[in-house]
Amino acid sequence: MTAQPDSPEANLGAGLSLFASGDKAKFQEAANYLQHFVDVAPDTILQADAKAILAELKSTEKVVPEEPLPGANALRKRRVDHLKAALWHYRLARPFDSSDRQQILE
């Protein structure tokens, strides 16, 4: 999970495993993973199932997802910074016009 915190499959698997354990102490963590799955996954039947489990946790156990998952924002920021740097280098490696210069300066 730490290598790919935005992996829909990993978040769904972790959330379902924690929920299926029946251990109420793990329901909060399950809700966090399931909510992250809902946030990053494409709209599928699995997403509807995850939303149903989240609704059940909220109504029966009074558990709501916390935001964000630990480390997810830091990793996402590093990815964005890396992509910005790669884009900047790409633009410098090819001829560009005045509109490209303005975008680089932003």
14 and 35 in a single domain? The answer is yes
Predicted local distance difference test score (pLDDT) of residue 40: 87
Buried-state track 43-54, b at ≥16 Cβ within 10 A, e below 16: eeebbeebeebb
Q: In terms of pLDDT, which residue wins out, 105 or 45?
A: 45
The number of distinct structural domains making up the chain is: 2
Predicted local distance difference test score (pLDDT) of residue 60: 95
What gap in Å lies between CA 85 and CA 24, rounded to an integer? 44
17 and 52 in a single domain? The answer is yes
Residue 13: pLDDT over 70: yes
Domain membership of residue 82 (yes or no) is yes
51 and 30 in a single domain? The answer is yes
- Containing domain of residue 76, as a range? 72-105
39 and 77 in a single domain? The answer is no
Predicted local distance difference test score (pLDDT) of residue 43: 84
19 and 45 in a single domain? The answer is yes
24 and 49 in a single domain? The answer is yes
Percent of the chain with pLDDT over 90: 43
Q: Say what the alpha-carbon torsion angle 65, 6, 68, 46 is, to the nearest 10 degrees.
A: -10
Domain membership of residue 1 (yes or no) is no
Domain membership of residue 67 (yes or no) is no
78 and 50 in a single domain? The answer is no
pTM: 0.62
pLDDT 10s digits, 26-78: 999 999 999 999 988 888 889 999 999 999 999 999 999 987 655 555 555 66
54 and 79 in a single domain? The answer is no
Predicted local distance difference test score (pLDDT) of residue 29: 93
53 and 89 in a single domain? The answer is no
